[in-house]
A and B are shown apart, each in its own frame.
Chain A
Amino acid sequence: MTSLATTEAEAPARAEPRRSGRLLMASAVAVLVAWVLVPIYLLVVNAFGSVAAVSAWPKSLVPEFDLSSLAFFANYAGVPRALLNSFLVAGLTMVMSIGLGAPAGYALARFRFPGANLFRLAVLMTRAFPLPLLALPLTVLFIRVGLDDTIIGLALVHTTLAMPFAVLIMASLFLSIPEELEEAAWTLGCSRLSAFRKVVLPLALPGIAAAGIFAFVISWNEVFAAAVLTIENKTLTAFLLQSLDVSPLPLKFAGGAVLIVPALLFLFAVRKYLFSLWGIANR
């Protein structure tokens, strides 16, 4: 693709299909982008519209900037508490995902052990297991253990959901750090642990943070387990879901925006590490 102009001049016969292919590609991209962005745009516009403008029709083309919907949302009974719960659960999920996922990812990246591939597959397969099937037994178990309706209980479930991604992201992350760097550290006086701390960790830190943020977002967006397992300590998603039919329109839009915007920003920040999940080098 370095000299597109010359190749097209040399091969005029091939230029036409290539141009139409590019057109097809561009329109497909446009449709996909619109598919994602239009709902978000409407959501944000309505969230920042005044309470009156939200239900008005036709919409004015120029979006207004009015915090009254958000203010209404913030003052709605139960919202601050749900927001705090969401933060706590997502934060705990992040910590546990890193704490458990980093060693697992390191092992997958550095050690050859029998069943490594099976383990890799098993980690992914946990995502294939339908959560609704688990809902009832899990609830019963949680009630017995006393974990029902607690932040930590929900965080445990969310960690399970986030773990496959955390493990695989961090495995590819550790794989991208040359083993020779660790070996060099060993020959220079490091044990495996201190080599990890002084050489691997500083290099992996941005990626580990990204995996953590991804876990945070998964927990932040999760509805089903949150709705089933909590009653008093509802997270924001569960709270909104439950009050969907009784809450006024501005609340829905403001709630939706508050849920989506942080998740989007976080994912945008860590996108290159998410690509690494699929084996694309993250350098």
Chain B
Amino acid sequence: MADIDIRQVAKRFGNHQALHAVNLTVADGEFVVLLGASGSGKTTLLRIVAGLEKASHGTVIIGGRRVDDLPPRRRGIAMVFQNYAVFPHMTVFDNIGFGLAMQKVPAAEIERRVRRVAELLHIEELLKRYSGQLSGGQRQRVAVARALAVEPAVLLMDEPLSNLDALLRLEMRAELKGVLQESRTTTIYVTHDQVEAMSLADRIAVMHEGRIVQAAPATEVYHHPATRFVGGFIGNPPMNFLPAEREGEGARVAGHLFRDAPAADAALLFGIRPEDLVPAGKGLAGRVRVVEPLGPHQLVTMDLAGHLFRVVLDNDLAVRPGETLTLAPRPGRVRWFDADSGVSLTQTTQPEPATGA
């Protein structure tokens, strides 16, 4: 058990700045997900914490100890790799026991601990098999079991579910969450899948172009995106954005006047989640382009003052392409951004969590 403190960590590959002075703290027992598109630097950051990559600048502190000059084996970490990296020349038992054997743990104790984690991940029957005889999902379980067997202070996971098919991924996700909740191991988990991130994380750190743009609990990242990028990146469909004209105390968006715009000096950008709108007598009016029934909801794509605008509406509402739809935001759901910098101008209504960055 240990906390992690990442201070001003930067990484440069040749001419490419992969990470710009990243700061992140992970509390003891916390589950933090690094979420970002490919190339955002999330895997690089994880590998720096693991010691597989050397930071160009900055410091990583694990459990109060500076680990910058320590090799991976002296950092008290365990890692689960994207392609599992199960040793093909060893049985599942030897794979799971490998870390313990390296620590010169007595054979009887290795046996006991391997059996325990194998039970935890439901792979007791596979212990005598080789990796070639396992399915992708089983290999995944072996990789997680191998990492947990050493009882690491910090568990690092690099897109561990991305090679599984959709159904298996859903199943493993729920199971992983159960197992990790029980072990209460400090975990950094890298993924590009926002649903995975939301379902697993105590806190999501959204990465973009080598920077952490927001580190907060899932609901806060979703409802209070710190920047325009986060709002557009998280949520499917993503947040809608419309340009706003300042008018007195308020702002005019697509012809409709909002009275409660923030009193900042900057040019404004209006943002709203697709599900935060309801049909109303007056508000944002646009022509319906496409209606897609999605089971419980329908996704309506409309043309709003020349901008593409998506709304998720209840199924009982009859909407046809071509007609005009007028929508009003649900109270308290409008988000304002600085049109130039993309930074949110809306105050966070939720209290800062104790573990916040």
Contact = CB atoms under 8 A, between A and B. Distances in A.
A98 B319 CA distance: 74
A183 B88 contact: no
Nearest to B83: A180
A32 B145 CA distance: 54
A100 interface: no
Q: Is the interface of A mostly helix, strand, loop or mixed?
A: helix
Contacts of B98: 185, 188-189
Nearest to B75: A187
A194 B77 CA distance: 18
A189 B52 contact: no
Given A188-B102, A188-B146, A181 B87 contact: yes
Interface string A182-206: 0111111111001000010011000
Contact of B71 (A184, A186, A203): A186
Contacts of B102: 188-190, 194
Contacts of B85: 178, 180-181, 183-184
Contacts of B79: 183-184, 187
A188 B83 contact: no
Interface centre among A181, A187, A189, A190 (most CB of B within 10 A): A187
Nearest to B89: A202
Contacts of B150: 188-189
B81 A180 contact: yes
A186 B71 CA distance: 8
A202 B150 CA distance: 23
Nearest to B150: A188
B50 A187 contact: yes
Nearest to B146: A188
B82 to A, nearest CB: 8
Contact of A190 (B73, B82, B146): B73
B101 to A, nearest CB: 8
A186 to B, nearest CB: 4
A203 B88 contact: yes
6 contacts: A178-B83, A186-B52, A186-B72, A186-B73, A189-B150, A203-B89
Given A180-B83, A187-B77, 16 more contacts: A180-B81, A181-B85, A183-B52, A183-B79, A183-B81, A186-B51, A186-B52, A186-B71, A186-B73, A187-B72, A187-B156, A188-B150, A189-B99, A189-B102, A190-B73, A203-B88
